[in-house]
Structure 1
Amino acid sequence: METYIKDLNLSPEVKTALSWYLHITKVSDLEGLNYLTFANRCPKNCNVLAIADELNALGYLYPPENEISVNNISMSKRLQNVLIRNNILYLSQLSIHPREEILKFRNMGESTMPELDSICEKYGIQIRSLVSIKEAFSDCHFPAALHTMFFKNAIFSIDDLKNKTAHDLYIICGHNYALNMKTYYTLKKNGVVFDDWEDKYLFEVLSQKNSALMWREYDLTTMSQLLDCNEERLKEICSTFPKLSETIMTLLPSIQS
Structure 2
Amino acid sequence: MRPAFTRLALASLTLLACNNNPEKATKDAPVVAGKTDAPEIKAPPPADSKSAAPPPSAETKTAGDPATTPPADTKGDAAAATAGETPPPAAATAGETPPPPVADPAAAAEANKKLLDEAKAKKTSDARAKKALEEAEKGGATVRELAEAANARGEALFDDPERAAAFFTWAKDKDTTYPEPVFNLAKQSANAGEVAPTVELLKEVSKRGGKKLLKQVGFDPTFEVVKDDSEVQKLIK
Same fold (TM over 0.5): no
TM-score by structure 1 length? 0.24
Considering Cα pairs closer than 8 Å and 6+ residues apart, tell me whether 1 or 2 has the greater RCO: 1
TM-score by structure 2 length? 0.26
